[in-house]
Amino acid sequence: METSSNVLSLKTLENMFMTILHNCKNMGTLKKIHAQIIKFSLSESSYLVTKMVNICDQHEQVGYAKLLFKEVSEPNIYLYNAVIRAHTHRHLNLFSVFLYKQMLKEAVFPDNFTYPFVIRSCGELCNLHLSKQVHGHVFKSGVQSNTVIENSLLDMYLKCDGIDDGHKMFDEMTHRDVISCNSLLYGHIKLGHMKKARQLFEEMPEKSIVSWTAMISGYTRTGRNTDALQIFHMMQQAGVKPDWISLLSVLPVCTQLGALELGKWIHFYAEKNGFLQRTSLCNALIEMYAKSGNIDQALQVFDNMLERDVISWSTMVGGLANHGKAHEAIQLFQEMQKTTTKPNEITFVGLLSACAHVGFLDVGLRYFNSMTIDYNIQPGIEHYGCLVDLLGRSGCLNQAFELIATLPMKPDSAIWGSLLSSCRIKGNAAMAAIAMEHLLELEPEDVGNYVLLSNMYADLGRWDGVSRVRKLIRGKIMSKKPGCSAIEVDNVVEEFVSGDESKPFSGGVYSMLWLLALHQTTSEIVAVDMFDR
């Protein structure tokens, strides 16, 4: 009777402590409750420890959860699940897998609540061999028909780049939902298989906002901007309202194609739907406006931001620099220095570029030295390129050449091209020839370099040099990359490539160009005739 009374007493205490834990709101209170649980010799109760581990998981205190777990000599399936889940949530995937193996050794059999988190950890570890082992365990356990587990297995294979295994898993699934299709879609997009991704996308019986956004970001990442815009417009026509992530995916396309009207619409839509609280979206809007020539609108977005990160400051500094507003760029950097946000490598690229545009040699040199001294940022090839440009524009060609000769890395074509441009402006043909020699070594097929050298000789009146360069061009098999431009009409962006006559409206375009050329020629003849009179 005494033993039965003790058991009853322990059960009563467990229930009492469970009620107390249910009302626990913070870790400080939990630790006090834990002390009382130890006092009553209940620290090995899987029932209570599972609840405490769940509280630790909610407060992101996985270290304390591990200590609680170690106190239990014979943890049950519920406690194992709780501690595996807590570690998976914190991306401590190796320990999650270790706990899973420990379960198997102790003959604690996994259930439907164990596998999704173990599978997720395997996927995040990108270990295909381990993933297949766990899949085998799932198959033997008989729980594979669970839709959540099947989707987890599919996602696991695709994270491990096992696209073939993922396809096999997809084909064998007992029930496919939009999550399954999105996982396979992401798998193809991740590997750059946009043709297969588009085929799957078209065949999907149901598309979520995630499906549309995945296709937009996939096309954007692979440089297929027109296709990305097409998907975005299709999404709108289908009545699917964009979220802030889909807007963030399509904004780089507006930037690349100069689709300013669509960019403005996205800005209005984001403001109307309360998305401008997202710093990353505001950063993309700033870049879009700055690169589309509307620097004042970029500044307005920047000024109205609730929070700014280093990308916000760097994008704005770079945008002002590219628009020739060097003084404003430097002033903005000085404002940044008063905040807690520390500049990074990109910030200094914009800052040095601003100094180069207006010839602020001393200021630029001071900022270049400040990178390492004040911020412990080691200059990269882009920073040295800006410095060469700054020295060249300031007429310090010898210093620029000496800097290139002592660089800690091999100079790239941008640096030699910058020196060549400065030599052309300052009329230093001898140094230009040296820069040209290096440029031709790095980019032997780029006809633009030869044209630049030919123009420099022409500026100096050295027609023998012009003739030599032109003969060199004719003697090589080189082709200039066709010029490409884009125009936005009624929110539709059309791309034009020089010499391309494949578009249905090409005839009209070339007829208009011919009329414009004829008009210009006629105007020149009239001007000459009036001058002769």
Q: Which of 414, 486, 479 is nearest to 448 (CA)?
A: 479
User: What pLDDT is stored for residue 477 in this prediction?
Assistant: 54
- 387 & 477 share domain: yes
pLDDT in tens, 441-459: 888 777 777 777 777 778 7
- 474 & 436 share domain: yes
User: What pLDDT is stored for residue 71 in this prediction?
Assistant: 92
- 429 & 463 share domain: yes
Final residue of a domain: which of 320, 340, 373?
Answer: 373
- 337 & 419 share domain: no
Q: Is 465 within the bounds of a domain?
A: yes
Burial 72-96 (b: 16+ CB within 10 A, else e): beebebbbbbbbbbbbbeeebbebb
Sequence-ordered alpha helix ranges (H) in 309-462: 310-322, 326-337, 345-358, 361-375, 381-393, 397-405, 413-426, 429-442, 447-459
- 324 & 390 share domain: no
> Which distant-in-sequence residues (6+ apart) come within 8 Å of 430 by Cβ?
none
> Which distant-in-sequence residues (6+ apart) come within 8 Å of 405 by Cβ?
none
Looking at per-residue pLDDT, the higher value among 62 and 499 belongs to: 62
Token duo for residue 46: 């899987």
pLDDT in tens, 284-307: 999 999 999 999 999 999 999 999
Q: Is 503 within the bounds of a domain?
A: no
Please state at what angle helix 326-337 crosses helix 345-358, rounded to 10 degrees. 150
> pLDDT exceeding 70 applies to what percent of the chain?
88
Range in 194-203, 239-248, 360-369, 432-441 the model is least confident about: 432-441
- pLDDT class of 6 with cuts at 50, 70, 90: low
Q: Which of 316, 324, 303, 305 is nearest to 343 (CA)?
A: 316
Bridge partners (DSSP) listed for residue 493: 488
Range in 4-8, 223-227, 257-261 the model is least confident about: 4-8
Name the domain count of the chain. Answer: 2
Looking at the predicted structure, is the pLDDT value of residue 522 above 80?
Answer: no
- pLDDT class of 517 with cuts at 50, 70, 90: low
Residue 496: count other Cβ atoms within 10 Å of its Cβ. Answer: 14
Bridge partners (DSSP) listed for residue 521: none
| Cα–Cα distance measured from residue 475 to residue 453, given in angstroms and rounded to the nearest whole number | 16
Q: Is 143 within the bounds of a domain?
A: no
- 474 & 388 share domain: yes
Residue-averaged pLDDT of the chain:
87
CATH code, domain carrying 409: 1.25.40.10
| Cα–Cα distance measured from residue 266 to residue 277, given in angstroms and rounded to the nearest whole number | 14
Q: DSSP string covering 342-364, please?
A: PP-HHHHHHHHHHHHHHT-HHHH
Q: Is 204 within the bounds of a domain?
A: no
* Residue 404, domain extent: 380-483
Final residue of a domain: which of 373, 395, 423?
Answer: 373
| Cα–Cα distance measured from residue 172 to residue 217, given in angstroms and rounded to the nearest whole number | 28
- Mean local confidence (pLDDT), 34-49: 93
Bridge partners (DSSP) listed for residue 488: 493
Range in 11-25, 42-56, 233-247, 301-315 the model is least confident about: 11-25
Looking up tokens 């096992």, which residue turns up?
A: 162
pLDDT in tens, 404-437: 999 999 999 999 989 988 888 888 888 988 888 8
Looking at the predicted structure, is the pLDDT value of residue 520 above 70?
Answer: no
- 412 & 466 share domain: yes
Bridge partners (DSSP) listed for residue 497: 484
| Cα–Cα distance measured from residue 436 to residue 450, given in angstroms and rounded to the nearest whole number | 8
Q: Is 475 within the bounds of a domain?
A: yes
Helix (H) or strand (E) holding 488: strand 484-489
Sequence-ordered alpha helix ranges (H) in 59-127: 62-70, 77-89, 93-105, 115-125
- 411 & 345 share domain: no
Looking at the predicted structure, is the pLDDT value of residue 1 above 50?
Answer: no
- 408 & 479 share domain: yes
- Mean local confidence (pLDDT), 467-479: 70
Q: Is 56 within the bounds of a domain?
A: no
Model pTM?
0.77
User: What pLDDT is stored for residue 486 in this prediction?
Assistant: 57
**Do 214 and 182 contact (CB within 8 A), yes or no?**
yes
- pLDDT class of 474 with cuts at 50, 70, 90: confident
- 365 & 387 share domain: no
Final residue of a domain: which of 343, 373, 403?
Answer: 373
- 360 & 392 share domain: no
Q: DSSP string covering 181-192, please?
A: HHHHHHHHHHTT
Q: Is 390 within the bounds of a domain?
A: yes
User: What pLDDT is stored for residue 64 in this prediction?
Assistant: 96
Q: Is 97 within the bounds of a domain?
A: no
- pLDDT class of 272 with cuts at 50, 70, 90: very high
- 390 & 464 share domain: yes
